[in-house]
Chain A
Amino acid sequence: MEASLVDWSRAQFALTAVYHWLFVPLTLGLSFIIAFMESIYVRTGDEQWKRITKFWMTLFGVNFAIGVATGIILEFEFGTNWSNYSWFVGDIFGAPLAVEGIMAFFLESTFIAVMFFGWNKVGKKFHLASTWLVAVGANLSALWILVANAWMHYPVGMRFNPETARNEMMNFWEVLFSPVAINKFLHTVTSGYVLASVFVIGVSAWYLLRNRHQLLARRSMVIASVFGLVMSLFLVLTGDGSARLMAKHQPVKFAAMENLQDGQTNAPLVAFGILKSTSDEHKTEDFLMKIEIPNVLSYMAFQDANAYVPGIRDLIHGNTDRNIIPVDEKMVRGKLAVAALKDFKMARKEGDMMKADSARKTFEEHFSYFGYGHLNDVHDAIPPIKPTFYSFRIMVGLGMWFILLFVLTLFFVLRRNPVKRRWLMYAAVLSIPLAYLASEMGWVVAELGRQPWVIQDLMPTSVAVSRLTASSVQLTFALFAITFTLLLVADIKIMTKQIKLGPKDGGTRHV
């Protein structure tokens, strides 16, 4: 397969995913924050709460529209650009996408209409229920697409059927409740809640700095900092869970994330590090400098400070002491599986059942390395180290800062003098773009870190791609890059204008 076709197809998918993810996390979190606010309004009957709710709802609407626009592309791109992938795993992967449509999208789009147009048409309680259902719908859709994504990292609940040449689902519940899926879902949605909380706090801080909409700002800050703080704890817990699952199921990704070249017991965590800019084709990266915390990596991976964590060299070249098979052996076995599948098909065509049976046996024996049969070089199995290494550190570092931000905001808002802490308010405003950065970095770790696989160990991206010309994909890449960028600029301009305008009917009762 043409290398530039694979690269451009990946670039197009990355482009649409990165753009889509600029809008989704805010939808996930803000929908709940709005639901909390409206609940307080319905409980207390305080019209100020209704104004606050409606203000955030306007921002929600602007953001939601562009999230929808960028989302439709992603669903269809599995077919348009990853045609072979769609067949190879469609029997499993298609189901969550369909369930997402039936279960979540309709819920979201139906009740969003009530949320925006129903204030004077339906009762207070029905309206509140609609707002909650929008939040549930948005988060349910995240569940199903993340189940699908998790399955690519950790394929379970299926069996390869050589007759149809695809993976077929054997157990729906194993797919849905796979530990990777559950962890990924919780980690991703809670990251959305944290982002939305930072967003609400940042916008509110801007009002306080300008001495506008004090009540709205303070009330919003309380809700957002409590929500953000609680959800940060879940974020840390599930992040820890991700690390352990990764160490177990995607050890190369784990080693790349740490740039751990040689395996060791009592492995330290690199808290801060700079990689040398020279990088050879075998992806052996050296540190220019690093600050390590002893034993932490071993503990992170296996909950045991003395545990052995394999390094990239062990995983690629093998380590007999640790029972690690080298990649070249996996490649041999993968090629045996690929050849056996061909033999099986041929034998079936010729009606030679004996030969077909023996080919099938060979195939099943080596199937778990099927994807390695398509690699050309052992080093192809190593993901890009630098982006994985740095994005992980940016994500975690910023996550820590947000926790501090929530604590400080809550503390000062409750003591009623946040305006005097102008540095904190400025920091809160500046944190908005940082929240987006952290969120995107999470996906860089997850998706670049699992290269070359589209399905872990079973299918590399080069096999999954649709057979188009690279120039076709370049053209659609340009089309969407321009469109999305224009729409993003429009989105940001509208958002900032709406924030400047503030809530429609004031909301400026001074306390």
Chain B
Amino acid sequence: MGGHAMFENLSHFALQQYWWIIISLLASFLVFLLFVQGGQTLIYRLGRNETERSLIINVLGRKWEFTFTTLVTFGGAFFASFPLFYSTSFGGAYWVWMLILFAFVIQAVSYEYRKKPNNFLGSRTYETFLLVNGALGTILLGTAVSTFFTGSQFSVNVNNFSQWETPTHGLEAALNVQNLSLGLAVFFLSRVLAILYFFKNIDNEEIIKRARKQLLYDAIPFVVFFLTFTVMLLLKNGFAVDPVSGVVSMEPYKYLHNLIQMPVVLILFLLGVVLVLLGIIRPVLYFTRSGDKGIWAAGIGTVLTVFSLFLTAGFNNTAYYPSTFDLQSSLTIRNSSSSHYTLTAMSYVSLLVPFVLAYIVYTWRAINRKKIDAGELEDEGHVY
């Protein structure tokens, strides 16, 4: 495409890895941005009257579109780079994805419509929509991602047309302890991140006081569920791929091996976990000094942890979307990707990402320059 070949000369496998890294990055930013969803489940817990609740909703309302857009872009990028995942998982685990979509459909209108006069369903309904989105969205996304390690029951035929092999079409994933642990870990993490975000962005003593009390009630279950997931992950048999023949087989301690064999990923993982814990512990111990810094540590920590988990799922000759029904139907980054040409073209498009990030950061700072209090809501023309 360009005058100087930049991506054209890369091997197909190198491009597949590059795109797995981009997918992993999008996923990790998405999980961080789920703090909006976590916050939506805390509206009534932290806001005792109308003013307080409005304050919380407006603080979240300035960011919800980023989460939403990241989810949509994650879907689009996955489609463009690994279409076999898109066709297999979305068409197969139908109910999981449909419920996730439903949860996001009702979110999209709720901020804008909640306070508008004559809004037909009433404020409480829109607040309930936000609650449903927050709970269902996080738990189901976490559960769905966990199947990258635990596998699903599907088959892919010779023409790469896929077929789900359970009548529950994805809902069966919720019956697996490890999947559920990750789902709940994501749910509680999103609430932790929301609380840390409130520390930084809400100027209201009562809300902050309640949020400080709430922090450990979410942090402890998060740690418990996350540890459960991680221990099970490290001890379980994983889905290994023979790089030459492409044959998939079970390998004991595969994911533990992946971390040991990819020390950079291991370091990112440990660093991520430590940062998340640090982000939680410091506001607990020294609130006045570092209460509003927790979101930085925990946010970066979340991104690093999720990123390293995705690399563990897809790199080092691992099937990232395994089939327990037929091992050889499992998806790997090699057998499920787009063509060399398409990945090359898309790689040029990916060069826009730093530019996009730059303007997001720039405008985010322009809007978030100071904490939000009730007074600002009165001055502002647009209130949710």
Enumerate chain A interface residues (CB-CB to B < 8 A). 54, 58, 61-62, 64-66, 68-73, 75-76, 78-87, 90-95, 97-103, 105-114, 116-122, 126, 130, 161, 164-166, 168-170, 172, 341, 345, 349, 466-469, 472, 476, 479-480, 483, 486-487, 489-491, 493-494, 496-498, 501, 504
B residues with a Cβ closer than 8 A to A are 1, 62, 65-66, 68-69, 71-73, 75-77, 79-81, 83-84, 86-92, 94-95, 97-98, 101-102, 104-109, 111-113, 116-121, 158-164, 167, 169, 338-339, 341-342, 345-346, 349-350, 352-353, 356, 359-360, 363, 366-367, 369, 379-382
B121 touches A490 (CB 8 A): yes
Verify A119–B381 contact, CB threshold 8 A: yes
Partner of B73, one of A105, A114, A166, A490: A105
- A–B pairs, 15, beta carbons within 8 Å: A68-B108, A69-B105, A83-B88, A83-B90, A83-B161, A90-B84, A90-B87, A94-B342, A99-B346, A102-B353, A105-B69, A109-B66, A117-B382, A172-B345, A472-B169
B92 contact set on A, CB distance < 8 A: 83, 466
Q: Which of A61, A75, A90 contacts B83 (CB 8 A)?
A: A90
B102 to A483, Cβ gap below 8 A?
yes
Which residue of B is nearest A86, CB measured? B87
Are A70 and B118 in contact (CB-based, < 8 A)?
no
In contact, A118 and B90 (Cβ under 8 angstroms): no
Please measure, in the bound complex, the distance between the C-alpha atom of A100 and the C-alpha atom of B74, giving whole angstroms: 11
**Are A79 and B97 in contact, CB atoms less than 8 angstroms apart?**
yes
Quick one: closest A residue to B164, CB to CB?
Answer: A467
**Given A94-B79, A94-B338, A494-B113, do A467 and B86 touch, yes or no (CB 8 Å)?**
no
Report which residue of A84, A93, A95, A504 has the largest number of chain B beta carbons within 10 angstroms of its beta carbon: A95
Alpha-carbon separation in the docked complex, A493 to B1 (Å) = 50
When the two chains form the complex, which single residue of A76, A108, A490, A501 contacts B120, counting CB atoms closer than 8 Å?
A490
Provide the bound-state CA to CA distance between A9 and B174, in Å. Answer: 26
Kindly list chain B residues whose C-beta atoms are within 8 Å of the C-beta of A114. 363, 366-367
CB <8 Å contact, A75 and B367: no
Chain B binding surface, main DSSP class = helix
Complex contact A69–B109 (CB within 8 A) = yes
Would A73 and B356 count as touching, CB distance under 8 A? no
B83 in contact with A94 (CB, 8 Å): yes
Which of A97, A117, A472 meets B367, CB within 8 Å? Answer: A117
B382 touches A487 (CB 8 A): no
Residues of A near B86 (CB, < 8 A) are: 78-79, 86, 90, 94
Give the number of residue pairs across the A-B interface with Cβ within 8 Å: 263
- Whether the pair B91, A95 counts as a contact (CB closer than 8 A) is no
User: Is B91 touching A83 in the complex (CB atoms < 8 A)?
Assistant: yes
Among A71, A91, A109, A113, the most chain B Cβ lie within 10 Å of the Cβ of A113
Please determine whether B162 and A97 come into contact, CB atoms closer than 8 angstroms. no
Residues of B within 8 A of A75 (CB): 72, 75-76
Contact A494 B118 (CB under 8 A): yes
Asked if B109 contacts A102 (CB within 8 A), the reply is: no
**A35: shortest Cβ distance to chain B, in Å?**
17
Q: Which residues of A contact B73 (CB under 8 A)?
A: 98, 101-102, 105-106
A109 to B62, CA, bound (A): 10
Q: Beyond the given A69-B105, A466-B91, A493-B119, could you list 18 further A-B residue pairs with CB under 8 A, ordered by the A residue number?
A: A62-B112, A73-B101, A87-B162, A90-B80, A90-B84, A94-B86, A95-B342, A95-B346, A99-B349, A102-B356, A106-B69, A114-B363, A119-B380, A121-B369, A161-B339, A168-B342, A480-B105, A491-B113
In angstroms, Cα B68 to Cα A341, docked, is: 41
Interface pair A95/B120, CB less than 8 Å apart: no
- Measured in the bound complex, the distance between the Cα atoms of B164 and A90 in whole Å is 19
Tell me the bound Cα distance from A85 to B162 in angstroms: 11
Which residues of A sit under 8 angstroms from B104, Cβ to Cβ? 69, 72
Which residue in A95, A119, A466 is a CB contact (below 8 Å) of B94? A466
Are A490 and B345 interface neighbours, CB within 8 A? Answer: no
- The A contact surface, by secondary structure, is helix
Chain A residues lying within 8 Å of B77, measured Cβ to Cβ, are 98, 101-102
Are B108 and A97 closer than 8 Å at their CB atoms?
Answer: no
Q: Distance in Å from the Cβ of A73 to the closest Cβ of chain B?
A: 6
B382 touches A70 (CB 8 A): no
Top 6 A-B residue pairs of the complex, sorted by shortest distance between their CB atoms: A83-B91, A90-B83, A79-B90, A101-B73, A94-B80, A69-B108
> Which residues of the partner chain B approach A99 to less than 8 Å between Cβ atoms?
76, 80, 346, 349
A130 and B65 CA atoms in complex are apart in Å by 16
B79 touches A97 (CB 8 A): yes
CB neighbours of A472 from chain B (8 A): 94-95, 169
Give A469 to B167 CA distance when docked, in angstroms.
Answer: 9
Structural contact, B79 and A98, CB atoms closer than 8 A = yes
State in angstroms the CA–CA spacing of A130 and B75 once bound together: 26
Contact A91 B119 (CB under 8 A): no
CB atoms of B159 and A341 under 8 A apart: yes
Most B-side CB within 10 Å, residue of A93, A122, A341, A467: A467
**Assembled-state Cα–Cα distance A496/B80 (Å):** 40
Q: In the complex, what distance in Å separates the CA atom of A159 from the CA atom of B236?
A: 42
Tell me, rounded to whole Å, the shortest Cβ–Cβ distance linking A171 to chain B.
8
Complex formed: what's the CA distance from A105 to B75 in Å?
A: 13
A230 to B159, CA, bound (A): 49
**B105 pairs with A106, CB closer than 8 A:** no
